[in-house]
């Protein structure tokens, strides 16, 4: 029977377990039964896929960009691959609420209003996401936050037809996120519309420890930037919490930078591969209206996406680290294993994955499917698999025991 136990991939060290338990006890969340079912929206059976405006556009957004992006997700075929969320980030609202205290779309950039935009996106078969903050102002300070207005804002989001809420952590009252975030959770649950709730708390109070009853995903890291060093450091921070991800709630190392120009093609392939095998949200952060063929080859790789969207929902872990050479592995459905070999070093090098490290019985004969070459290797493997990997490159496989 398939289960979440995996194929023997190593657990946290006992020291780390003790540290996490102490932190959890300090947050005072998830220890009482009423909070265990705080969030029950039935969403996020697999990690969310879509697009977010921030990494490429920052505050320079308007309703035409959002509409054109929705159009592009459909015309490029990305929507059919699962990229269905079109998420507006910061700077969409007026700085002042209306006389009833409601958030209002900025008239200069969203003149039709957010409901009309949601209707447009829905007609495309897509879902609209929006942004707010568990503070008095958002991170840009260009619009009000939702602190103290949670129920009103949740009702507005639901009435507009919003499907996803990214909830940031800036300019707050100094109270713990473990206090502020559940207020919005309860408000969303009362609003009468299933809304994916993304906790953008930057890993401040280790939300992986308390996020499951509060949100559908939780940031485990600070913001990513479009560099190799930033990307791999976010991957490292996120991997610590691998055993806490599962269907309904996912670790989030921040949005994808693929296509924004700061990394090489090989580095972007590593980026996308780690996010996929880590069951991270796959939220495109480039301008998909003008995506290059190279970018499309990466973000539209059906086989890599399938690893991310696997029904078992087990986040892979680094099972071996040999200097700059890393072996990531995680169980998939149908008794398969996802394997990722990453070379962080400056030179091309060979990497060997051993069955006893990745949880496959040592005597098993294994068939390997190369997900970036899109081919099943002719050789059958027993005991281990070795591949030569470029500097800042990777090899990604799905391994299937055949005996």
pLDDT digits (tens, 9 = 90+) for 1-20: 333 333 344 444 444 444 44
* pLDDT mean over 109-113: 98
Do both 161 and 304 map to the same domain?
A: yes
Please provide residue 119's backbone torsions phi and psi, each rounded to the nearest 5 degrees. -60, -40
- Residue 165 within any structural domain of the chain: yes
pTM: 0.92
- Residue 35 within any structural domain of the chain: no
pLDDT tier for residue 37 given thresholds of 50, 70 and 90? low
- Residue 140 within any structural domain of the chain: yes
- Residue 23 within any structural domain of the chain: no
Looking at the chain, the whole-number percentage of residues with pLDDT higher than 90 is 90
Do both 282 and 136 map to the same domain?
A: yes
Q: CATH number for the domain including 330? A: 2.60.40.1180
- Residue pair 319/9 in contact (Cβ under 8 Å)? The answer is yes
- Residue 28 within any structural domain of the chain: no
- Residue 92 within any structural domain of the chain: yes
Q: CATH number for the domain including 99? A: 3.20.20.70
Do both 113 and 54 map to the same domain?
A: yes
Please write the tens of the pLDDT for every residue from 345-385: 999 999 999 999 999 999 999 999 999 999 999 999 999 99
Per-residue confidence (pLDDT) for residue 153, from 0 to 100: 98
Supply the range of the domain harboring residue 352: 317-401
Average pLDDT, the chain: 92
| Partners of 246 in beta bridges | 249
Please give the distance of CA 297 from its chain centroid, rounded to a whole number: 20
Do both 336 and 303 map to the same domain?
A: no
Do both 256 and 381 map to the same domain?
A: no
- Residue pair 317/330 in contact (Cβ under 8 Å)? The answer is yes
Do both 396 and 282 map to the same domain?
A: no
Do both 348 and 281 map to the same domain?
A: no
Do both 305 and 325 map to the same domain?
A: no
Do both 159 and 203 map to the same domain?
A: yes
Q: Which of 309, 326, 357 is the last residue of a domain?
A: 309
Do both 346 and 300 map to the same domain?
A: no
Catalytic residues: 168, 223
Please give the distance of CA 261 from its chain centroid, rounded to a whole number: 20
Q: Which of 257, 291, 309 is the last residue of a domain?
A: 309
- Residue 150 within any structural domain of the chain: yes
Do both 173 and 221 map to the same domain?
A: yes
Please provide residue 353's backbone torsions phi and psi, each rounded to the nearest 5 degrees. -100, 125
Of the given ranges (39-43, 125-129, 334-338), which has the lowest mean pLDDT?
Answer: 39-43
Per-residue confidence (pLDDT) for residue 38, from 0 to 100: 80
Q: CB within 8 A of 46, min separation 6: which ones?
A: 247, 308, 309, 310, 311, 313
- Residue pair 304/372 in contact (Cβ under 8 Å)? The answer is yes
Strands 127-133, 164-168: pairing kind: parallel
Do both 122 and 258 map to the same domain?
A: yes
Q: b/e for 127-147, b at 16 or more Cβ within 10 A?
A: bbbbbbbbbbbbbbbebbbbb
Q: CB within 8 A of 105, min separation 6: which ones?
A: 92, 93, 94, 111, 113, 114, 117
Q: Which of 309, 337, 360 is the last residue of a domain?
A: 309
What is the total count of domains within the chain? 2
The length of the chain is: 403
- Residue 353 within any structural domain of the chain: yes
Classified as helix, coil or strand, 113 is coil
């Amino acid at each position: 029977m398939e289960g979440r136990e995996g194929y023997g991939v190593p657990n946290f060290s006992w020291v780390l377990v003790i540290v996490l338990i102490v932190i959890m006890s300090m947050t005072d969340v998830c220890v009482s039964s009423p909070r265990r079912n705080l969030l029950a929206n039935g969403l996020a059976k697999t990690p969310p896929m879509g697009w977010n405006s921030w990494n490429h556009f920052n505050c320079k957004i308007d309703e035409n960009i959002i509409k054109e992006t929705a159009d592009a997700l459909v015309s490029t075929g990305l929507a059919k691959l699962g990229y269905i969320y079109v998420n507006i980030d910061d700077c969409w609202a007026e700085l002042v609420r209306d006389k009833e205290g409601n958030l209002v779309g900025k008239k200069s950039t969203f003149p039709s209003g957010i409901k009309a935009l949601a209707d447009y996106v829905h007609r495309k078969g897509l879902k609209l996401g929006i942004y707010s903050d568990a503070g008095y102002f958002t991170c840009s300070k260009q619009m009000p936050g939702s602190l103290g207005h949670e129920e009103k804002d949740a009702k507005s989001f639901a009435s507009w037809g919003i499907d996803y809420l990214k909830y940031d952590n800036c300019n707050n009252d100094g109270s713990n996120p473990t206090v502020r975030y559940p207020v919005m959770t309860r408000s969303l649950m009362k609003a009468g519309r299933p809304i994916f709730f993304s906790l953008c708390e930057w890993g401040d109070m280790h939300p992986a420890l308390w996020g499951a009853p509060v949100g559908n995903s939780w940031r485990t890291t600070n913001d990513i930037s479009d560099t190799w060093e930033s990307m791999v450091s976010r991957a490292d921070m996120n991997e610590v919490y691998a055993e806490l991800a599962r269907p309904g709630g996912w670790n989030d190392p921040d949005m994808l930078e693929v296509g924004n120009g700061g990394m090489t093609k090989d580095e972007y392939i590593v980026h996308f591969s780690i996010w996929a095998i880590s069951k991270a949200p796959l939220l495109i952060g480039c301008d998909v209206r003008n995506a290059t063929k190279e970018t499309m080859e990466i973000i539209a790789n059906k086989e890599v996406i399938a690893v991310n969207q696997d029904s078992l929902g087990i986040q892979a872990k680094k099972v071996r680290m040999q200097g700059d050479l890393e072996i990531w592995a995680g169980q998939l459905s149908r008794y398969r294993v996802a394997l990722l070999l990453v070379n962080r070093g400056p030179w091309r090098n060979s990497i060997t994955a051993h069955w006893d490290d990745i949880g496959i019985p040592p005597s098993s004969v294994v068939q390997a499917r190369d997900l970036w070459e899109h081919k099943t290797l002719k050789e059958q493997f027993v005991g281990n698999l070795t591949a030569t990997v470029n500097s800042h490159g990777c090899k990604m496989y799905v391994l299937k025991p055949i005996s």
